[in-house]
Amino acid sequence: MTLNRRDLLAAMAALAAVGPARAQDLPRLLCLGDSLTAGYGLPQEQGLVPQLSQFLHQAGRPAQLINAGISGDTTYGGRVRIGLSIRRNAPDAVIVELGGNDMLRKFDPLKSEQNLDAILTTAREGDRPVLLVGIHAPAGDADWRREWTQIWARLANRHGTLLLQDLYAPIAALPSDQRGPLLQDDGIHPSALGVQRIVQHLGPAAAQLVAQTA
């Protein structure tokens, strides 16, 4: 599935055409995350949430996606704001994508896991479906990276959530000299093309999440 501006605009027009009543019937997905979710450095329509919305529409699982991504946010920040985000938006399901900034700042994985545990506890209230999105651990101490790698499955099992182990897998799997077009100049955030690759990886799990709201 190729995502481009023309297809995205067409999908937005099609969604608008269903009318307010039917649009309101779509499941509401709260996307809690950091700059990756927020769409840092990209035109609005090329960010992760709009492109994921497009994927779900084309996959026959349309949903209202609420972008609750904040650039620079950490798992602690997500822990602080998850309750208010739930109350304000009344989502039918939640995607949690946090931890990248904790890693970049070399936070203790145990403390970050505690924050994510609290986030998932709140998100899962009332048996609300949740998709936990893991992040590829950057280069560093082997034991530290191993601890981070093990967090995601442990939390997903504990809370009974869906899991995408590594959001960056489609990019991380490539040789470093082939990643350039998929990343912005900072070498961290995905370009619009990189987001397309990521959404192809994330989309099926998000579609499964939407299915759980039925």
- pLDDT lower than 50: segments of the chain: 1-3, 10, 13-14, 16-21
pLDDT at residue 21, as a whole number: 40
Q: What is the pLDDT of residue 16?
A: 47
Contact 170, 141 (CB under 8 A): no
Q: Quick check: 25 and 156 in contact, CB under 8 A?
A: no
- Pick from 74, 150, 167: nearest CA to 119: 74
- What pLDDT digit, counting tens, does each position of 115-156 carry? 999 999 999 999 999 999 999 888 778 888 899 999 999 999
Domains of the chain: 28-212 (3.40.50.1110)
User: Looking at residue 37, what is its pLDDT?
Assistant: 97
Q: Among all residues, which ones are annotated catalytic? A: 35, 186, 189
Say what the pLDDT of residue 84 is. 97
- d(CA 211, CA 83) in angstroms, rounded, equals 24
Residue 167: exposed, middle, or buried by beta-carbon count in 10 A (0-12, 13-18, 19+)?
Answer: buried
Say which residue the tokens 């530290």 belong to.
Answer: 144
Which pLDDT score, from 0 to 100, does residue 17 have? 44
Beta carbons within 10 angstroms of residue 133's beta carbon: 26
Burial of 138 (0-12, 13-18, 19+ CB in 10 A): middle
SS3 69: strand
Residue 72 has phi, psi (to 5 degrees) of 85, -5
